[in-house]
Structure 1
Amino acid sequence: MSPRLPMPPPPPPAEIRDWPDRAARLADRALALDALGRRLLGGGRLALFLTWFLMLQVGWGMVGVLLTSLGGAILDPLTMLVGLVAAALGIGVLVPAVWLTARSVRQDRIARERFAQWALLDRHGSTDARLRAPVLSACWMVLSTVMCGTGLWLGFAVPAGTTREGTVYGLDGGYGLVAYGMGVALVFWINGLIGLMKAVSHYRLVLRVTGPAPRPPGSRSASSGPPRHV
Structure 2
Amino acid sequence: MSSRPSLPPPPPPVEIRTWPDREAMLADRALILGALVRMHIGPGRLGVLVMWAGLAAFGWLLVGSGLVMVEQAADFFSGIAGFVSLLLGAGALIPAVILVALHLARDREIRALLAQWGELGHDPERDRELRLPGVSLVWLLLSFVLAAGGLALCVIGPASARPGDDTYGMVALIMGLGMVAWLTGLIGAAKAWAHRRWVLRVLMAPAPLDAPAHR
Same fold (TM over 0.5): yes
Contact 2:33 2:118 in 1 (8 A): yes
Higher relative contact order (CA 8 A, sep 6+): 2
Larger Rg: 1
Q: 1:61-115 CA deviation, whole Å, 9 max, x = no partner?
A: 111121111332x522121111111211111111110000011111101100100
Q: 1:100-149 CA deviation, whole Å, 9 max, x = no partner?
A: 00111111011001001111001001111122211110110011000100
Contact 1:145 1:192 in 2 (8 A): yes
TM-score (norm 2): 0.92
- The letter for the 2-side match of 1:213 is A
Q: What's the CA shift for 1:180?
A: 1.0
Structure 2 counterpart of 1:200, from 185, 193, 196: 193
Contact 2:121 2:209 in 1 (8 A): no
Q: Does 1:10 align with 2:10?
A: yes
Whole-angstrom CA distance in 2 between matches of 1:20 and 1:108? 31
Whole-angstrom CA distance in 2 between matches of 1:153 and 1:176? 18
Q: Does 1:184 align with 2:197?
A: no
Q: 1:190-223 CA deviation, whole Å, 9 max, x = no partner?
A: 111000000001101111012122269xxxxxxx
Contact 2:69 2:81 in 1 (8 A): no
Say how many residue pairs are matched: 208
- More helix by proportion, 1 or 2? 2
Please name the residue that 2:112 is paired with: 113
Contact 1:71 1:177 in 2 (8 A): no
Whole-angstrom CA distance in 2 between matches of 1:71 and 1:60? 16
Q: Does 1:159 align with 2:158?
A: yes
- The letter for the 2-side match of 1:75 is A
Whole-angstrom CA distance in 1 between matches of 2:63 and 2:135? 34
Contact 1:62 1:87 in 2 (8 A): yes
TM-score (norm 1): 0.87
Structure 2 counterpart of 1:212, from 192, 201, 206: 206
Q: Alignment RMSD, CA only?
A: 1.4
Contact 1:166 1:175 in 2 (8 A): no
Q: Does 1:50 align with 2:44?
A: no
Local SS of the residue matching 1:214: helix
